[in-house]
Amino acid sequence: MSGPYPVRGSVSLPEAELMWRFSRSSGPGGQHVNTSDSQVELRFDLARTEALPPVWKQRALERLASRLVDGVVTVRSSEHRSQWRNRETAAVRLAALLAEATAPPPKPRRATRIPRGINERRLREKKQRSDTKRGRNGRGWG
């Protein structure tokens, strides 16, 4: 999986703006793990990118502020033994992170009134239940 990575709609991350770094990964792999650089670190300069619309970029910068270092977001992947699969995982993770960060805010909740009939029915049923339970307490039986 190479080339532009889709974020949302027709917007995608160009391969040229992604910075890859590889290092040795801990975990399973036997002797092979000592010689291969399978851990992947993917860096994307969010502050300087032209790939995202300005509104999305501003939204992402605000929402990912705690993850950014000098305007760069970093995603690391080392769960697979192969570097290629870790590259795929990191790219998908970055695209998902940006999709979530650039999503429009939810519409504000509109307060609604409970219809009077429904409220009265609820209170009537509550009263019936109360009377049923009150009738079970054995007082007046003896």
Averages of pLDDT over each 10 residues, the chain, 142 residues:
71 83 72 72 87 87 87 88 87 89 90 93 96 84 59
| Burial of residue 7 (number of CB atoms within 10 Å: 0-12, 13-18, 19+) | buried
End-to-end Cα, the chain, rounded Å: 83
Whole-angstrom Cα distance, residue 55 to residue 43?
21
Structure tokens at 134: 């009150």
pLDDT value at residue 117? 96
pLDDT value at residue 28? 62
pLDDT value at residue 16? 83
pLDDT value at residue 126? 97
What is the chain's length?
Answer: 142
Beta strand 39-45 with 72-77: parallel, antiparallel or unpaired?
Answer: antiparallel
